[in-house]
Amino acid sequence: MKYIKMRTAFVEEVTKLARKDKNLWILTGDLGFSVFDDFQKEFPAQYLNVGVAEQDLISVAAGLAMSGKKVFVYSISTFLTMRPLEQIRNDLCYQNLPVYLIGGGSTFSYSTFGCTHFPLEDFGLMRLLPNMAVMAPGDPLEVRALIRDVYKRNSPAYIRIAKKGEPIVHATDDVISLGRASKIRDGKDISVLVSGRQLANALSAVVTLKKGNINCRLLSFHTAKPLDEVAIIKAAKETNGLVVVEEHFKNGGLGTAVAETLVQEGISVPVINIGIDDEFPEGSGSQDYFLKKYGLTPEGIIKAVNKILHRD
């Protein structure tokens, strides 16, 4: 598999867009060291580092957007979504402005840094806000497609991207669209709905299960809002149960959104949500150390599928 950093894919795609649009800006809250060097050189008038000031970061982006700009805002996912939550709510969402928040780092990207750097609740917080779209692309090609799609929106968006170098899962000619789950594999036994960089693990699990003659439908739910309810309902009706995989608290994220949809539709199917328990993960370790702890691995996904099929 070919690996590319999602963050690199983001900057490359935004740079392409900026070449055609002098009203496209990038703001950073003093993070992303070296990542924006080329952009800044090519578009000095469309770039600003506001310093370590996330509240101001969002309000300034709003002011620019109210002056005809489309603004990509970069910071680490935790700092971007929590410190300025009210600015995101009032300045961006209430005023409904084209400001696109790019959160650097999946839950355990900064695995040795402690929970201050672990985005655990960002999907939940962002999902609550009207006008906001919420995304966690599963591979670098989804990053590129979603960047192009959010740019067409005149409303705010939050995209959480990983940054360690992520495998390309999609074929280059796959159609990837904001708000529509991407079907990576089809099957009739169990549906695996996956958010973000767990896509590669989920694919690995699905390939292994197929060898045991279990055929899974694998859906990349890169967009948590607007939610592809049609794909959820079809998966629930056409397969024997759902496994939702996300690097997020089990509360409030994609798993919750899926459960809400099923309840509202009156559909009763087994659902297992693989995510972070309601606790602050303790200590320090590698990314894999934490992912393994919460079953966010191919083995964890296989175990969940087998559990629904009573094969465990």
- Cβ closer to another protein: 53 or 267? 53
Among the listed residues 269, 196, 197, the one whose alpha carbon sits nearest the alpha carbon of residue 232: 269
Alpha helices (H) in 82-187, listed in sequence order: 85-87, 122-127, 140-152
Least gap, CB of 304 to another protein (angstroms): 42
Applying CB under 8 A, what is the total number of residues that bind another protein?
26
80 binds another protein per the rule CB under 8 A: no
| CA atoms of 274 and 298, how far apart (whole Å) | 11
Q: Which stretch binds another protein (CB under 8 A): 66-74, 154-162, 179-187, 245-253?
A: 66-74
Is 65 a binding residue for another protein by CB under 8 A? The answer is: yes
The partner residues of 178 in beta bridges, in order of sequence, read: none
Binder among 19, 21, 37, 51 for another protein (CB under 8 A): 51
Q: Which two tokens stand for residue 6?
A: 């999602």
Q: Is 34 in the site for another protein (CB under 8 A)?
A: no
What is the CB neighbour count within 10 angstroms for residue 2? 9
With tokens 């070296």, the residue in question is: 34
Tell me: does residue 67 bind another protein (CB under 8 A).
yes
Q: Does 154 bind another protein (CB under 8 A)?
A: no
**DSSP structural state of residue 51:** -
Q: Are the C-beta atoms of 253 and 228 separated by less than 8 Å? A: no
Using the rule CB under 8 A, is 53 a contact of another protein? yes
Q: Does 58 bind another protein (CB under 8 A)?
A: yes
Applying the rule CB under 8 A, the residues between 86 and 125 that interact with another protein are 86-87, 90-91, 94-95
Burial class (CB in 10 A: 0-12, 13-18, 19+), 189: middle
By CB under 8 A, residue 60 contacts another protein: yes
Give contact residues for another protein (rule: CB under 8 A).
45-46, 48, 50-51, 53, 55-56, 58-69, 86-87, 90-91, 94-95
